[in-house]
Structure 1
Amino acid sequence: MNEHNTVEKMRRMRMNAMANLYHRSITEHLYQDYTLDDFLSMLIDTEWENRQNRNIESLIQRAGFKQAASSSDIDYQAKRGLDKTTFERLLSLNFLQKKENLIITGSSGCGKSFLAQSIGVKACQMLHSTMYYNTARFFDLAKLAKLQGTYYKLIKRIQKTELLILDDFGLANIDQQARNVLMDVIEERHESSSTIIATQIPVASWHGLIGESTAADAILDRIVFSSHRIELEGESFRRKKQLSH
């Protein structure tokens, strides 16, 4: 058997991790005490893990997170009303399986975005498609898509995404066009996928924020009343860091 031809065939089939390990085993005389079954299993596991890792990296990159948020870096000691048991239950992504939503509220700088993105990163690691947007920028993107004739395509992409994160909801004015976009997004995702909304605006103020009564009622009915809630308290983390320097 020509081992080098085998390596080349693996590479042409894009089994690069398997090819690299097989090549090392030949040139460095490794794994000679392995049975054929054990060696084949190791090659396949190596290729599988490499592809899974590449898929995760791709999902994280496509999600568009603004920061590298890891659940291992969450500070549960800070006095902001974040219950560790509750949040770790959310990190299990059971709410994602049930197509439920999550609303994270709190003042500026208390960690809403980080918590939302840490769940998003976890979702990517479990191979769930995820998209992260600053809400105002998302509305601008949707308005541009309407002008370019790609709005339907954007909404369908949003619909198929398993987890949508809308950050800084309500900081920019919601005009009629933005309200229509929000209604389209919420309607398409209702009971078919999960949405996380992070905002400084208390949920009690959303009706007036959204504006037009019928649309506000429809949006609130679909996303608020059956959602999980995290209501953060306390001062801004960023302000505390600035004062400590």
Structure 2
Amino acid sequence: MTQTARNQWVWSLSCDWIKRNQNVLITGKSGTGKTWLGCCLGMQAIRNGISVSYRMVSRILEEFELAHLEGTTPRLRAYYKRADLLILDDFGVSKLKATGKHDLLELLDDRIGDRASHRAFWAVLATKNDLTPLHINVGAGDQRCRF
């Protein structure tokens, strides 16, 4: 491990990236430890007194589909907004339906929109795709989701 990589790892474990209002995007091929690394960051955040919620994107989308049927979408969005750190695993793995795109972008927008508040809301996104497929999977037409 190079000194630069070691410094980045130590910095990540200090949770300064959360305090500085920064997000983390972890990319890599299958089996390279993206989920493990995201969970390590989450566990370290918990040790630093930061509340964490970990979810696979496919599970969140299932929860939103059910919430739409039950009329509880605002409650579900508020639930995910409560955690200081939201870890989204397997983001961008499969193409999203229109409602899934909307729900996911609203969820991220809610968290990003609160940056001005005293409580920070940040996300760790783990994906096996590079950024180009991620934009294609999330974006619609000329609109793209950028982090």
TM-score, normalization: structure 1? 0.54
SS at match of 2:21: coil
- Distance (Å, rounded) in 1 between the aligned partners of 2:142 and 2:46: 35
Whole-angstrom distance in 2 between the partners of 1:153 and 1:112: 30
1:16-42 per-residue CA deviation (whole Å, 9 max, x = no partner) reads xxxxxxxxxxxxxxxxxxxxxxxxxxx
Please tell me whether the aligned partners of residues 85 and 122 of structure 2 are also in contact (alpha carbons under 8 angstroms). yes
Structure 2: any 5+ residue segments left out of the alignment?
none
1:206, distance to aligned residue in structure 2 (A): 2.0
Which structure: larger Rg? 1
CA RMSD of aligned residues (A): 1.8
Q: How does 1:60-99 map to 2 (within 5 A)?
A: 83-99=5-21
Indicate the SS of the match to 1:165. Answer: strand
Gaps of 5+ in 1: 1-75, 225-245
Where is the helix percentage greater, Structure 1 or Structure 2?
Answer: 1
1:112 to 2:38 alignment: no
Residue of structure 1 equivalent to 2:96: 174
Pick closer, same or farther for the CA change 1:215–1:183 going to 2, 3 Å.
farther
Q: Which runs of 4+ in 1 moved over 3 A?
A: none
Quick one: distance in 2 between partners of 1:173 and 1:205? 9
Instruction: Note closer, same or farther for the CA distance 1:156–1:215 as it changes in structure 2 (3 Å cut).
Output: farther
Say whether the 8 Å CA contact 1:167–1:197 is kept in structure 2: yes
1:177 aligns to what SS in structure 2?
A: helix
Structure having greater relative contact order (Cα 8 Å, sep ≥ 6): 2
Q: So what's the TM-score if we normalise by structure 2? A: 0.87
Given candidates 120, 129, 137, the residue that maps to 1:201 is: 129
